[in-house]
Structure 1
């Protein structure tokens, strides 16, 4: 029986894409740049701010000074508009309520910066419900390294083998597997386009297509 559940944030627990899409579109209009397709923006959400801004300047590499300048601009705008259209994926609130009713702690392990993550959780009123939060600032090595997973487990006073990790990116599954957690691939999330066709190759223990399936699978693992 598993004793805790950890989630990736963007594309797994929270559907944040609409805010990213709106902000990238806004920045493109400000700069007179071509506006990327919404699907292209959504696919980059899990890749971080540099990848998002590279959609605005696809001709620049990730270390270019211009790209880095607009990366900070993007982050500044996002901080002010972090929860405009963002919400939990449909069915996620009942899942969290089920975990809390069963006294199963849940938490978040994300590569999103802590100041943005905390603001998002505060806006969604999840900050006091989340039992553990691990962000890049808390570790030397981020996902797919298992260090953040072990830190979350230690914070919960649990063995990593007692924990489920849910994510929508190969690095999520790799991090969970590297820490000997039970891994669930959230195939409803922001999957990398070049890796959608062979989800079994990701190595997840379980694959779910929606939150309802996730709810059922987690319920099995904690009972």
Structure 2
């Protein structure tokens, strides 16, 4: 067992650190109403949040992969999301106390997300998580987004830590792939936005957490406080 403190703990954003599904639910149903379509259920939408705006639109409107309607719906959805940004979004239960513990242990933490900076920055400002992240890496900051490990390498550089002594936590197979390709320890979480048919056991993560409260004990088993 590694007896050194972790140099850094990095999180995916949507579905891992914060629950953005309620905001997307309001936005998608507003978009459906604008097109005289019936609303979808919250439970249905949660399966598509981690796969991005196109996936949510496609599922809600039952669109084929290359449907021309995407070009009309996609910019409107993003416009609505900017107007509704952070209204109902909250950290997942257990995350605030986990961040408190990281702060007490003086362990730097950061965010590596595929969410564009124009949404991430105002959202993080509104949430005011404490202690604040030492770095927030969005796809705007790199050439290749996850599952490519470039963003994780950049986060480690900004935190002055080594990838092999760092941990990445995510709710999607691409998060775990990115972490593994960066040489990090990985924790796959199932409390976020798993798609139907997702098998978290197939992601080859080092650990799994089914509630955010389970992350701290995993970290404590990996690294000594002394």
Q: Which TM-score band (shorter chain)?
A: over 0.9
What corresponds to 1:212 in structure 2? 213
Equivalence map 1:14-53=2 (5 Å): 14-53=18-57
Deviations 1:36-80 (A, max 9, x none): 332221111111111122123323434x44312211111111111
1:215 Cα deviation from its structure 2 partner: 1.8
Alpha-carbon RMSD: 1.5
> Does the Cα contact within 8 Å between 2:99 and 2:130 map onto a contact in 1?
no
| 5+ long unaligned stretches in structure 1 | none
What corresponds to 1:135 in structure 2? 138
Aligned length: 220
Higher mean alpha-carbon deviation, 12-21 vs 48-57, is at: 48-57
2-side partners of 1:65 and 1:218: how far apart?
46
Equivalence map 1:188-207=2 (5 Å): 188-195=191-198, 198-207=199-208
Q: TM-score with structure 2 length normalisation?
A: 0.92
Judged with a 3 Å threshold, the aligned counterparts in structure 2 of structure 1 residues 127 and 110 are, in CA distance, closer, same or farther, namely farther
1-side partners of 2:65 and 2:172: how far apart?
22
What corresponds to 1:57 in structure 2? 61
What corresponds to 1:105 in structure 2? 108
- Which aligned runs of 4 or more in structure 1 are off by greater than 6 angstroms? none
> Does the Cα contact within 8 Å between 2:13 and 2:112 map onto a contact in 1?
yes
> Does the Cα contact within 8 Å between 2:8 and 2:165 map onto a contact in 1?
yes
Select the residue among 7, 14, 18 that pairs with 2:11: 7
Higher mean alpha-carbon deviation, 158-167 vs 49-58, is at: 49-58
Does 2:86 correspond to 1:83?
yes
SS in 1 for 2:197: helix
SS in 2 for 1:116: helix
